[in-house]
Structure 1
Amino acid sequence: MTDPAASRSTGYSAWRLIAEELRAEITEGGLRAGDRLPTENALAERFGVNRHTARQAVASLAADGLVESRRGSGTFVTGGAVHVHRIGMRTRLSTSIGDRHSASGRVLESETVTASPEIAERLGIAGGPVVRVESLRTVDGEPVALGAHWFDAGRLPDIATALRRTSSVTAALRAHGIDDYVRASTVVSARHATAAEAALLRLDPGAIVLVTESLDTLTDGTPLQYGVTRFSAQRVRLDIEHPPPPA
């Protein structure tokens, strides 16, 4: 549980810690859409802070679209601020969010560089050039993810151009004659966002990002894309799908 008193010794604002704990309750389903948030007095008593600190935490949640104030009724959890991204054999953000929301992306920068030993191993190549692409994904205009993608330049030399044109990895690969690919592995971790990540994702300083390290392959197992994606933890939940048990 959050300890606002301990935060004073570390210099980390108590209201941010309270906001993070309430965000976690919302994203993990402890507080659901339509639920009424405890009053400022109740939050202040729960966390051992004054009402002003509790008010700042709630205001932060409201700024992120997680809660809304209704005059005379209280503050309630909204229904559309947290998106579930399903990670399975065929992982596509546009598929995860469905038809009710609009996903889009743009390339922030790209370059062709010499593969590091780690990237070369991930892509199953001896070395040589790789294309690195940095991208930003949004849902309904709200930034949700920053991605770093590496591709074998020998196989996909023009992938960055295709990504700029299509704003979609799937469409860009299709333009190169690759109609299908699958997720081979995903490793998930969490950490505080860097200053640059917070600025691009419109997060408060110290906000949490969920980090996925992933490898996509052709259906025959040939490595295709290695990626590191940073998701806004306050806007995205990751649902890891497991393969069905053998018959």
Structure 2
Amino acid sequence: MSDSARATGYSAWRLIAEELRADITEGRLHAGDRLPTENALAERFGVNRHTARQAIASLAAEGIVESRRGSGTFVTGGSVHIHRIGMRTRLSTSLGDRHSAAGRVLESATEPAPADVAARLGIAPGAPAVRVEALRTVDGEPLALGTRWFDAARLPDIAAALRRTSSVTAALRASGIDDYVRASTVVAARHATTSEAALLGLGPGAIVLVTEALDTLVDGTPLQHQITRFAAQRVRLDIEHPDPAGA
């Protein structure tokens, strides 16, 4: 463990858990692989066995690893879903028929649009906008939290449609919009907040992948601005590039 990491005051066990989580999510450890022993981890990171044990326990609480009496601790075989982000980004399409996705609206409100949201939606700052907070699950397991913004003048009833249909595509279709496309996506990563970790079923120190995106009508008219926080240990984002030939 680096001196700079120690200097942050961040708990040693969290740093160890974070490094092990990265080994798993980035493919250096695979499902079924055995983790190093507590003694080996203590030596590797320059800590005592209790600290190493606490790190492993936090990963076990997330379901990333499991301890087998007399055998050690192993990486579990939990699903990692591929979500393809392209011109027509739909989670249900990425998952195919093998998995079941569901959405649930947690909160919604019509409120003055913040300046950055207004700019993205092409409306005046402070103009009414519909904000929808929703949780997305796959096969019953939390995958993503989303914050979506819509122009209230264009889609005043979108929150009710989302509650009724549990699908953005279906809700937009019910509002008279049959097609929409992705105009831009920016991806970042950070630690989950306490509330995000609770809703996504993540342990302390877990990472979320954050996408900030703009969807538009086919003619380029802004439709929705969204910020989505994905549980990094459960998803891979596949950014599709346009065909250079324009096909």
Is TM-score (shorter-chain normalized) higher than 0.5?
yes
Q: Distance in 1 between matches of 2:94 and 2:39?
A: 38
Say if 2:103 and 2:137, in contact at 8 Å, map to a contact too: yes
Instruction: Tell me by how many angstroms 1:18 deviates.
Output: 0.9
Using the aligned pairs only, state the percent identity: 80
Q: Distance in 2 between matches of 1:139 and 1:30?
A: 25
Q: Distance in 2 between matches of 1:83 and 1:58?
A: 24
Which residue does the alignment assign to 2:106? Answer: 108
CA displacement 1:39-70 (0-9 Å, x = unmatched) = 22222221122222222222222221212233
Instruction: Tell me by how many angstroms 1:14 deviates.
Output: 1.2
Give the 3 Å change call, closer, same or farther, for CA 163–66 of structure 1 in structure 2: same
Superposition RMSD in Å: 2.1
1:151 paired with 2:150, answer yes
Instruction: Tell me by how many angstroms 1:9 deviates.
Output: 4.7
Instruction: Tell me by how many angstroms 1:204 deviates.
Output: 2.9
Which residue does the alignment assign to 1:236? Answer: 235
- Give the counterpart of 1:35 among 10, 33, 42: 33
CA displacement 1:108-146 (0-9 Å, x = unmatched) = 111111223322221123453211111111223222211
Q: Distance in 1 between matches of 2:139 and 2:57?
A: 21
- Which structure 1 residue ranges, 5 or more long, are not aligned? none
1:83 paired with 2:94, answer no
Q: Distance in 2 between matches of 1:47 and 1:97?
A: 38
1:209 paired with 2:211, answer no
Q: Distance in 1 between matches of 2:153 and 2:237?
A: 32
Which residue does the alignment assign to 2:162? Answer: 163
Q: Distance in 2 between matches of 1:198 and 1:106?
A: 17
Say if 1:91 and 1:183, in contact at 8 Å, map to a contact too: yes
Q: Distance in 1 between matches of 2:51 and 2:100?
A: 35
Q: Distance in 2 between matches of 1:48 and 1:82?
A: 31
Q: Distance in 2 between matches of 1:64 and 1:109?
A: 26
Q: Distance in 2 between matches of 1:174 and 1:142?
A: 27
Instruction: Tell me by how many angstroms 1:81 deviates.
Output: 4.0
Give the 3 Å change call, closer, same or farther, for CA 245–180 of structure 1 in structure 2: same
Which residue does the alignment assign to 1:13? Answer: 11
Say if 1:213 and 1:228, in contact at 8 Å, map to a contact too: yes
Say if 1:191 and 1:209, in contact at 8 Å, map to a contact too: yes
Say if 2:148 and 2:227, in contact at 8 Å, map to a contact too: yes
Say if 2:62 and 2:203, in contact at 8 Å, map to a contact too: no
Q: Distance in 1 between matches of 2:97 and 2:49?
A: 40
Which residue does the alignment assign to 2:22? Answer: 24
Instruction: Tell me by how many angstroms 1:6 deviates.
Output: 5.6
Which residue does the alignment assign to 1:177? Answer: 176
- How many residues are matched? 245
SS of the equivalent of 1:234 reads helix
- Give the counterpart of 1:61 among 59, 62, 69: 59
CA displacement 1:81-101 (0-9 Å, x = unmatched) = 433322222222222233333
Say if 2:61 and 2:203, in contact at 8 Å, map to a contact too: no
Say if 1:18 and 1:47, in contact at 8 Å, map to a contact too: yes
1:225 paired with 2:224, answer yes
Q: Which moved more, 1:31-40 or 1:219-228?
A: 31-40
Say if 2:185 and 2:213, in contact at 8 Å, map to a contact too: yes
TM-score by length of 1: 0.89
